[in-house]
Amino acid sequence: MEKKKSDQGANELLVFSYKNRKILIFTGLIAGVISIIISLMLPVLYESNAIVFPTATSTVSFNAQSNAKASSMDFGEEEQAEQLIQILQSSPLRNRIIEKFDLAKVYEIDPEEESYHHKLGKAYESHIHFERTRYGSINISVLDKSPQLAADIANKIVQLIDTVKNDLIKERTIPAFEINKRKLEQLKASQERLNKEMDSLSKLGVVDSESRSGLFAALNESKTTEDKAFFKKQIEVNLKYGSRYDALSDLREYRTEKLTDHEVSYEQAESDALENFNHKFVVESAVASDKKAKPKRMIIVLVFTFAAVILMFIALLIRDRFKTVKQAV
């Protein structure tokens, strides 16, 4: 029973379509002509693409025991790729590209307009796209009327990745470097004061604990009055300042180790703050395309024509139902 009703409904639609075939065909022709005219008026855009991989690390480690995954030769994974996309979408990079290529003029946006920045941002987003590929790389896609300009913008974006990220990193690493430098200078100055005090004690005749025990033996073995007086004086000086000398000796050894460790930290901070690192692997640079990317005129014509015919069919169907209801009343 339901199948019979369904077949009956389908037959009614076919009959209805046949009755109104002239209107539907005319609508399709008009829509086709209009869509062809519109598609011809749309600007031709060319697409250029650059592909980059993020690096696994943005620094060079001075620690011999650092994880091998932190090697500067390693490709980054999902986390680094997401960070790189955030850099690409950041305002510092966007503003540099807009200024470098005068995109307000390219996109024909008047700087005097009230919504200038909003329109410029929308135009930028509609022409420049960033997306992760299934292989973990980042595809930088640029559309423009000029194929060469599209390629130039894409390649400039690739270059600015390092510049923008290094600038962001230096906002934190330069203060850290200055702190490390100041601390290292303090440790060196403290070590120098300690060495000077130990040198002054050495000039008085103070010796280390091992040599100090031999002074009594030397006193006993001395044969002349002068030698005995000399060693007695040395023993007195060492009894008076020996403990201080031993404390300074232990402190110097401790500070020497601490200074050595801090020098490694200082070298790391200096490298992070002053060196400009490469944060990406360029897999493919952008080249000027010789084939247009937009508009897809055939698709525009087909979609526009089909939509117009469907809308006309629905309008005719509604009109027919109104007539039926009106007659029934």
pLDDT value of residue 239: 82
d(C-alpha 151, C-alpha 292), whole Å = 13
Q: Quote the percentage of the chain above a pLDDT of 90.
A: 15
Write the DSSP symbol of residue 205: T
pLDDT value of residue 60: 58
Report the pLDDT averaged over residues 266-294.
80
Report the pLDDT averaged over residues 81-106.
90
Report the pLDDT averaged over residues 34-51.
81
Q: What DSSP string runs through 125-181?
A: HHHEEEEE-TTS-EEEEEEESSHHHHHHHHHHHHHHHHHHHHHHHHHHHHHHHHHHH
Residue 309 confidence (pLDDT) above 50: yes
pLDDT value of residue 325: 67
Measured torsion, CA atoms of residues 219, 222, 224, 226, in degrees rounded to the nearest 10: -40
Report the range of poorest mean pLDDT among 77-86, 95-104, 209-218, 251-260.
209-218
Residue 303 confidence (pLDDT) above 80: yes
pLDDT value of residue 68: 43
Residue 140: pLDDT band by 50, 70, 90 thresholds?
very high
β 45-54/292-294 pair status = antiparallel
Query: Pick the residue with more confidence: 198 or 278?
Result: 198
pLDDT value of residue 149: 92
Residue 67: pLDDT band by 50, 70, 90 thresholds?
very low
22-41 confidence digits (pLDDT tens)? 887 888 788 878 877 776 76
pLDDT value of residue 7: 57
pLDDT value of residue 133: 86
Whether residue 190 contacts residue 254, with contact meaning beta carbons closer than 8 Å, is answered with: no
Residue 298 confidence (pLDDT) above 50: yes
Residue 326 confidence (pLDDT) above 70: no
Taking alpha carbons only, the member of 276, 277, 280 closest to residue 130 is: 280
173-212 confidence digits (pLDDT tens)? 888 888 888 988 888 888 888 889 888 888 888 888 777 7
Query: Pick the residue with more confidence: 141 or 209?
Result: 141
pLDDT value of residue 142: 93
Residue 3: pLDDT band by 50, 70, 90 thresholds?
low
Q: What is the mean pLDDT of the chain?
A: 81
pLDDT value of residue 128: 92
Query: Pick the residue with more confidence: 168 or 12?
Result: 168
pLDDT value of residue 58: 62
Radius of gyration, CA atoms only, the chain: 41
- Extract the tokens encoding 8: 């009956």
